Structure 1
């Protein structure tokens, strides 16, 4: 096996997206001279010893793979032949079990399980032909795993030298939460960005503001993930030194003598570091650090975590440095832009690392009375004038709560940018069904105009999120926030892309799903509450059509009030499925209730050709749309409403009506053109604005449409 020790090979070290540059620097520091950062990791080249050293010492890598070959993958036969041709008798040691992980697809290989099976067959057939025996397959606990990645017509075939992930640190024990490897990656990233190794050498002390998820072994008992990782750097401990199981033990190029020499070197480095430790001055500057997100819930940040970070930073000595992952609200309390702000991407989620070299401003404390007679709430805010927002929210909520009880309303708006400096809409949702007894709050921040200082606007949004749960008596984890920003090309809104949080609510006796985290809009427009009630009553006994149906809330109202049939039309498969669930959750299914996915304008043309007629049509189009499903065509409600309403009027039976609504505040019907084509339109906006939206009556426009 020693013949392989100087062989030049290609390796790939995977890592958390966003850490590729840091990982390349780390590999350089480990003696690797040829690196190439790629998406999700770093390719590097060298002798097997370079890979063993990376496995032993890397704090940022998740796995280290050796690329054994690239083969054709136009179809399963080409893949099989290419993998079979690789010298597996040299790559894998005899008597070792294997598993195959396949990723990626192409036209010829659409199923990763099938791909993995064909690769496994090729390896086993090759070894049986050459050695006379085939290896055992162990999906759960293989001695060595083979990684196959399909991209277009090529498959990259590698062996995983790590075995278990490198960020699954041995010192946290078997009882560590499933999110521990991800936390270790975050901790290593934060310490690398903050250059903790250099700062420790300059006499800095380390403080973890949260100190959660403590370790179990003798060296790490009582230490948090961040503290344990920081200590390992100071003590020059190799992260992999405590591991007893490696994938490379079953690799044909593994040299035990080389590995033992690396372990001896690691022991010597740790001993020298231990001998050079010196007592720290209590007045020395600190690196105050915190991982403020919950890896199990993506961007979820606890208010307690935010506050703990701020307190620890405020108490730090002069020349201290402050670093955190996530926790934008807490980080902004420093009153200055970060000296470093890097993004870590993980699927749909983007998490920022922030490093501040400036001392924090002391937090301002305000007192918020408890609405339900309990103890007063002490809230840390950026600006003491936020107490005015707290007073306003408390006053409006007190009145709105009484009104909602009297009217039987369970989901309503309690604040809508009442104070110009606090530009957000705050809606309260009382849970129903499985969520009975729970209350949720949805906070939508309006994008501040360019004339408003961005940092000040962010600070005030942070104050809104700190005060709202205290005033409304809702646990912080049930308060969801989003920012409304103008999308390019029109007035649609897009959201921050967080993972969904679905709850069940009630309106007029019907149940509805709302998504409080995944979309800017939750699935039910509260300003249309009275409109939906009216539509339901108008639909009784007739055939009902819902165009631009969104989540089908109006369809549920129509069905609940006794519509003979319903037809729900939307271009989005996601929303149409949502509408189906809303109907099914209220007991409405079967042939009387149809759901049709289509571009509404094209659907109207087809329906007119088929002479489909309805007694009531509800039309609530978006203000603007440039969806890919529409091809090159765009939708603009002001420009296109005449064509829309002419088409809708031709779908009405004699005496039939349409309810047309839109949320373009400047919308003006083209009465002259509509009159020309025999369409009557009556403005009923005033009677469709609910009490909780009276402060902003321009929230939507609503009309009754008839055909002469």
Structure 2
């Protein structure tokens, strides 16, 4: 048997299955494998809350090509598993160079099955993807190792069936179950612990906690059994498992599960979901503001418990606070008074745990719908309160830990590479008169970080060290040790003054994340690029306010816009507009959705004694909506001599009218820009999507010059494929 689950849930799954069945279990990167009796198999399908799919292996072998896959499929005695009257469906994952499409993989395996039956009795089974009698699954690795299996679970087991309504960014059910396992809820529940979620949303964590106590309801358990038409079922064992009650956790006292949320609609949804899961009698859901009512009355005097919550971030923050970053301090102080001795576990965006005001004992990474998050857990006590270090404090803390980290990490390869890079790039930067440049960019796989140097107008040098998230396969302690060694080595090699290094963690930005502060240290400096003064912030945001890889692009925009009209879309801190205005642009219009960045842009204009409001305007707007409005209507839109459009790779900000996917949407975006471009004008279109491909339709319609290589600064030459830059003009065909 193979039981698979989502990334980051493999270890909890293995532990859970060991608690369900007495069998020899092997951990795998995708879940677990085991030899199981039919009864044990049905028990896992019916009662595992963390599993995703359960497969029974029919055959495995090498199948890197279509013919090899067909041959492997023909080796299986299909008449032992199904009849010619069976309706079946095939799903496929993975693939090789020759088997790239999962649909084709499924089709080729279907051919093997059909031919098997045609040769036996001239009849064949049929495909039914909606309600098949038998579900088959084929997984092929990149090297061609292939497994063909029967899926004994009815689709993905995370779909319990109780969540008819979702809240804002609800957790998947099996992810919530895995998180509760990591938070040690089963052990705590046995000892009579209460459970409290102060910002429960639609209640998934509480409902899964209750199901861990009661087991799934009988009807829900029965619905999880798939492939009813498989001839290999042990019907007696299957029925025996269904007749047995689900495994229970028996608390020492009556369970006390409390959920609170400020949003009444969310609480109504949570109550309905709990009713459908048949655990509504166990959970007390009420509307309450966590900051105003941090300690629910039913929990007073309860000395054992677990406070757990998927804390609000991104869009969910708006329901709780009007500020970009909530002040957790007063709330945590209240929790410490109310729940002294309790355990706690909270979900936060990846990297935010470093700024959580409580010391924690463990951190576990998870993936929540493409968003990297982490669960941190600890205990409320008088010694747990701390102030998390900001980027400067983190740099110093890591540097101090470097000596101990050398027991795990050899610093020599990183030190040699950084010294070599620094000597080369520094000479080039001095020749070109650069203030800011990159000296290291994930050159070595074991040291996955970037280091930028900024020299301010006072002559001080600062290092911005950006850590890229280590893969899940890398031990977190080892990754931390590598970072500590790298930070210490950077401080020495780059000859930095004390407190002149900052460390921040790069992560995927979604929605409003890119606009939100990560600290309040406010380390701001002024640098000079091309004679223009620009303000940077080295601590408070994910980026400094100056994209160094666009240095030569800004040079090009300023050159083209001299004496002309410039439109800067997705302007960020408007550094390109300020450069252009300082070098003689007649007019500039800079548009962005963020008030934070537009205020920053106004500061940049002011630093160069350039007034805003007349010739040089700043506009807060959704760029997509603003462009759409100018494609229609009776008026003739303004024309611009130069347009600089540097959109994000993807954006789903709540303030935007639509989502933006740059690979999908770039044709429309370019065409809308060209509609506003003067006949002899130039559009500079750039983006940072790795592997971006410009549509051939644009090449046919416009005159396009690829400047990606020509505008690539020498300090970014090691990573040339991270950005694309195109110069686009109208064709002047007669």
Bucket of the pairwise TM-score, normalised by the shorter protein? 0.3 to 0.5
The structure having more radius of gyration, on CA atoms, is 1
TM-score normalised over the length of structure 1: 0.47
Question: TM-score scaled to structure 2, two decimals?
Answer: 0.46
